[in-house]
Amino acid sequence: MSFSVATWNINSVRLRIDLVRRFLAEARPDALCLQETKCPDALFPENAFREAGYPFIAIAGEKGYNGVAIVSRRPLSRIDRHLFCDRGDCRHIAAEMPTRTGPVMLHNFYVPAGGDEPDRERNWKFGHKLDFIEEMRRQAARYTEPGSILVGDLNIAPLETDVWSHKQLLKVVSHTPVETEGLLRLQAEGGWVDVMRRFVPPEEKLFTWWSYRSPNWEASDRGRRLDHVWATPDLGARAVSVKVLKEARSWERPSDHVPVIAAFSEE
């Protein structure tokens, strides 16, 4: 017996609700964490999720931008939102889900993209991103109680093999040293297990995002690993599989991110 958790930056949950339906029908994760829903709570397509067998829903959405959601086949409790950088944008939601080995706390994050220029003096968005990561690190105690899973679009590709060209991306937002070092520090200090890298060794390239701007994205394969699944050590030791659903990037009118599904033993 195992339970599974998926994460997917959907880039508009309403526009792509049919893709979400397809994914849920095929992958059947116990919980799906969505980012960039771009949907106010009152307009969230709850019926579609209920019909798909995901009646337990936690949402934090706003009009046009950002937005996170957790939909689940299992009851959700202790639903909680944390605000970052004294802003009201919707970039975090948490909920507890039961498993046979005890409750699991899911934290779903959408870290700011950070804009174009990797310089906080000239680009406030980059400063916002660094401050967000720093606030996650400072508040680690809120996320790292045993039985926790942290997923989401962290918008940073920390390892050299998390991008198509380490050298060419060192000055590109998402892979600059100040970002990758910040994220790895947060990961190390929190004692997090990088669950994806337990199954795909760090020597191998691994991506979850391919730009819309590349017409031949599959052939050129200039991707990045921006989406992550982390677990506290107790759950990290229970991880049994990870799948990056690359084929979803070829679906009709796709998101530029693909789903990641992680399964954990609950024996």
Query: Which residues of this protein are in contact with DNA, per CB under 7 A?
Result: 9, 11-12, 14-15, 36, 38, 63-65, 112-116, 125, 153, 155, 168-169, 172-174, 209, 211-215, 222, 224, 226, 253, 256-257
Q: Which is nearer to DNA, 73 or 91 (CB)?
A: 91
Nearer to DNA, 180 or 232 (CB): 180
For DNA, which is the closer residue by CB, 97 or 173?
A: 173
For the bound state, the minimum distance from the C-beta of residue 63 to DNA, rounded and expressed in Å, comes to: 4
Nearer to DNA, 145 or 221 (CB): 221
* Residue showing tokens 């795909």: 200
Nearer to DNA, 12 or 101 (CB): 12
Q: Least distance in Å: CB of 36 to DNA? A: 6
The one-letter amino acid code at 172 reads: V
CB of 158 to DNA, least distance (A): 12
Cβ neighbours around 151 below 10 Å, total: 26
Produce one character per residue of 110-144: b if its CB has 16 or more CB atoms within 10 Å, e if not: bbbbbbeebebeebeebbbbbbbbeebbeeeeebb
Residues in CB range of 253: below 8 A, 6 or more apart: 15, 16, 19
State in angstroms the smallest separation of the CB of 21 from DNA.
16
Task: Please name which of 143, 117, 144 lies closest in space to residue 130, comparing C-alpha atoms.
Answer: 117
- Is 158 in contact with 133 (CB distance < 8 Å)? no
Nearer to DNA, 30 or 153 (CB): 153
Q: Name the minimum Å distance from CB 235 to DNA.
A: 26
Nearer to DNA, 121 or 267 (CB): 121
Give the nearest distance from C-beta 76 to DNA in angstroms: 24
CB of 37 to DNA, least distance (A): 9
